[in-house]
Copies of this chain bind each other. A is one copy, B any other.
């Protein structure tokens, strides 16, 4: 079992990563002084596969877990589901010094995270991510949120977990499409910070998708390091975390332009990565060869992009409403090469437009 520590001003917390480490979870709870009464928030998918096993492991170690199961899928990430969870938590009388375990993918991590940030003004949270996307991205960094009918993640908070627990053997049961979505963020880490990640995917993508324990452990571990280092530094330098949005300005625009249908988040981000790298290419910040490697890697993942459905005007409109923009010119990190980025504050709409046109012809 590997361990990455996230060092924050207020406190540090570990991310545990390993293959078939499921049984170690209760012992870690004990060593982190988690009280016996815990709520497990999970979804119908994850619970049908793993909940019994999880409950048994906890009960065997003296825990009193109370499962709260929501319907799987993005549509649960809203205020009305949060309200139902609050009601359950009150009924089971979860107290301020007790703990919520978010057991599922990104939706569960965000939803259960938001609930634990706000129930009784904040209870303990453990992130137990069960998808690649959640393990490498959403479970790390303390961002939690729910959606508003008018936009994603508009209602949220920052709430760091006591620890994150990533059993990567659970990814064996993950549909291939979900794995590839997670890979979108992993490719991003390769470009923004750790070129070794990029190279592993270039060389061994099949081993990741199979999955092969060693290769998977390597990329999940490296990804956790990249994400946590950026989160740590961001505490001092607010702008830094924006590097994590690489691929996301255009990616979000594409997602929203498709009304969050057809493409999953990770898939839209892949297109965003190509688009934003294209801006970098046109500005002469990266060379043609590096750009080709990025483009080819993403195309090699086999995602079917619904190019005919992409509506440039819609995408541009949504980018204009993106909540991360502070002025009329776009702030963005652009790649200078694999593993190196540059902050620019003057990306014009025309550049975005050209990038989207390039994506059309991919």
**Which residues of A are in contact with B by a Cβ distance under 8 Å?**
79, 83, 86-87, 90-91, 93, 95-97, 117-122, 143, 145, 148-151, 153-158, 321, 323-324, 326
Contacts and interface: CB of A to CB of B under 8 A. Distances in A.
A97 B155 contact: no
Task: Name the residue among A93, A117, A122 with the largest chain B CB count within 10 angstroms.
Answer: A117
Given A122-B157, A155-B119, A87 B150 contact: yes
A326 B35 CA distance: 12
A150 B90 contact: yes
A86 B147 CA distance: 11
A118 B321 CA distance: 19
B122 A155 contact: no
Given A86-B154, A86-B155, A154-B86, A121 B145 contact: yes
Contacts of A323: 95-96, 120
Contacts of A120: 154, 156, 323
A148 B326 contact: no
6 contacts: A86-B154, A95-B326, A96-B324, A118-B156, A120-B323, A121-B145
A291 B140 CA distance: 53
Task: Name the residue among A117, A121, A151, A323 with the largest chain B CB count within 10 angstroms.
Answer: A121
Contacts of A90: 148, 150-151, 154
A158 B121 contact: yes
Given A79-B79, A323-B95, A118 B155 contact: yes
A82 to B, nearest CB: 8
Contacts of A93: 321
A120 B91 CA distance: 29
Given A87-B150, A90-B151, A150-B87, A157 B79 contact: no
Nearest to A89: B154
A78 B319 CA distance: 32
B118 A87 contact: no
A177 B93 CA distance: 35
A145 B157 CA distance: 14
List 9 tightest A-B contacts by C-beta distance, closest first: A121-B156, A90-B150, A118-B155, A86-B148, A120-B323, A118-B157, A121-B157, A79-B83, A86-B155
Contacts of A156: 118, 120-121
A122 B117 CA distance: 12
Contacts of A324: 96
